[in-house]
Chains A and B, each alone.
Chain A
């Protein structure tokens, strides 16, 4: 009996760790939108001279001609192509974070999968270009390994702000986002459309009147352990634009698991709630109100809540909208 027993027992805690590790590997990218890439370096778009070679998250991508059959994974990539007027190039989209805003169109683009689609499903569409919002979507158990896809003639591109290892900038700025819009414009040979978006957004940013002396918690998800916008990603960039002070700015990451004690200690003036299909504002308000410690926060007592759609909180064409939206809500709250 010794043999039967000796292997059996310790596997339990180890198995939990193993499963957890697998989970991280599977979905761990969520932190994913981890800081931005090498934006200013790779952004030199004028009229596109193919072949176009660019470094994307450390992978060299060579574009022979403007892609025509494109699959987008995650909302930010779908929305960027729609904003650039490229709806006719889209053969499919996958893994949306929420509804596409009506003004961007895209109702007719078929939804391939509500999660990351599998390799074979992707290849079956015969795309020539896949644009993903998270680097982790490109893996053998996801849409396919980048090198494999390349060998099959499919170019791949990841939102540079979501690069995980190579070329992280210290801190994401709006210029990095504009560089990405320009880069995508160059890939698809629509530089004028990209320039127009950038110009409009720069004006909108300038027209913002930042508030001052307002502190905020960017509450993205989680209940026991809140997952919040930290000091160097899109949430911080948007908060900087509207002038609010992020209480989690001290953590050098895009998002971070935080703790309620630090939130209560900081007692933020407003709480920004990220709204997604899986995490409504009501659910988060419920969490804040049911915990006796957070229920006493000024922002909770006075219901100073601001909501932003999840898809606007990762680097993309809707970040400026998120900023103006937050600025309007701040004004409505009298701040």
Chain B
């Protein structure tokens, strides 16, 4: 937690960063991306299978914010169409933003503490655990609310991973990653077993949307869970950039810089698990967001985590809003599980990153 290297990055005074490719101050990026995020939310809400004019959308939003719906040229809608805007689209867009931000943040943190450029939030078996929890509820009728079961599954998996890695010795990045792999495989197998034994009729459709990730069920409770987790866990994580930067130089260097390596790693991993667990609980396992966005941000803004953390969160939010808008409108009136689109877009981007990395090193 002590100061590490160059000061002032967070305040946006254009430091002379060694790695910042474009010399644009962080603050400017934050302002630009925040504006894009706000515009994305407003614009995405006007898009959807139902033919609702932007002025009607405005009217609905203004009305629910306790303002005069007709101000700013808004129209008044019938209760049903108002429901489309306020009960279906709005919570879904906000959930997409929160989940995107949360996954990108988790990815950034994971990549930093495991010093593994390929790390993503699911590395520690979180998604496998969450999926098992969800499938248990859908198929076995376990008497829990689905998000709670998913969350419990994610935390169980994380605990198993950390205990396994810890029992094998100090909690090193490699051990953590390998333990996560083992736990993922085990929970994945259990999930398949449950599906094999008890999927009846087409209940497998609901399971598919969990495995692929989907925001189609996101209502206001999902907004509360995801935005709440982002505020309570995500915001503090965003301030850990200095610690993460210290990790980049290796455990020895980090402890030389005054960081309790083991305890810091446990703390950060647990926080990441909480954040990811909450996101997976509302959206299923959406892949690639946590993997790709931190890299994309680093390409533009450099390697310092103090900068990468907030920018990844913003970029993740914007990215998932638009990907999910595509998922619900591209094949209108059919819907695509959003995880398919993130993978379709994410995998080629990832391949490009790999090729680029080869050229750099």
Contact = CB atoms under 8 A, between A and B. Distances in A.
Interface of A: 1, 4-6, 8-17, 19-20, 22-24, 26-27, 30, 97, 115, 220-225, 227, 248, 250-251, 256-262, 264-265, 267, 276-279, 291-294, 296-297, 310
Contacts of B340: 17
Interface string B196-221: 00011111111111011110110110
Contact of A291 (B50, B118, B191, B219): B219
Interface residues of B, number: 67
B205 A221 contact: yes
B342 to A, nearest CB: 8
B50 A277 contact: no
A248 B333 CA distance: 8
Contacts of B203: 221, 278-279
What does DSSP make chain B's interface, helix, strand, loop or mixed?
helix
A8 B181 contact: yes
Given A224-B217, A259-B49, A261-B50, A13 B177 contact: no
A259 B343 contact: no
Given A8-B181, A9-B120, A16-B339, A293 B84 contact: yes
Given A16-B339, A261-B84, A264-B80, A5 B118 contact: yes
A292 B87 contact: yes
Interface of B: 48-52, 79-81, 83-84, 87-89, 114, 116, 118-120, 122-123, 127-128, 131, 173-174, 177-178, 180-181, 184, 188, 191-192, 195, 199-209, 211-214, 216-217, 219-220, 285, 287-288, 291, 328, 332-335, 339-340, 343, 346, 350
Contact of A12 (B48, B127, B192, B199): B127
A15 B123 contact: no
A74 to B, nearest CB: 11
Contacts of A259: 49, 216, 328, 332-335
A49 B144 CA distance: 60
Q: Which of B51, B334, B340 has its CB near the most chain A CB atoms (within 10 A)?
A: B334
A11 B203 CA distance: 26
Contacts of A293: 80, 83-84, 87-88
A223 B211 contact: no
A276 B203 CA distance: 11
B79 A296 contact: yes
B64 to A, nearest CB: 12
Given A8-B118, A20-B208, A23-B211, A224 B216 contact: yes
A-B pairs, 5 with minimum CB distance: A13-B287, A224-B217, A265-B50, A9-B118, A293-B83
A224 B324 CA distance: 14
A242 to B, nearest CB: 23
B291 A225 contact: no
Given A12-B123, A30-B201, A261 B88 contact: yes
Contacts of A258: 333-335
A13 B83 contact: no
B252 to A, nearest CB: 14
Nearest to B202: A30
A30 B291 CA distance: 33
A115 B200 CA distance: 8
A13 B288 contact: yes
Contacts of A294: 83
A265 B81 contact: yes
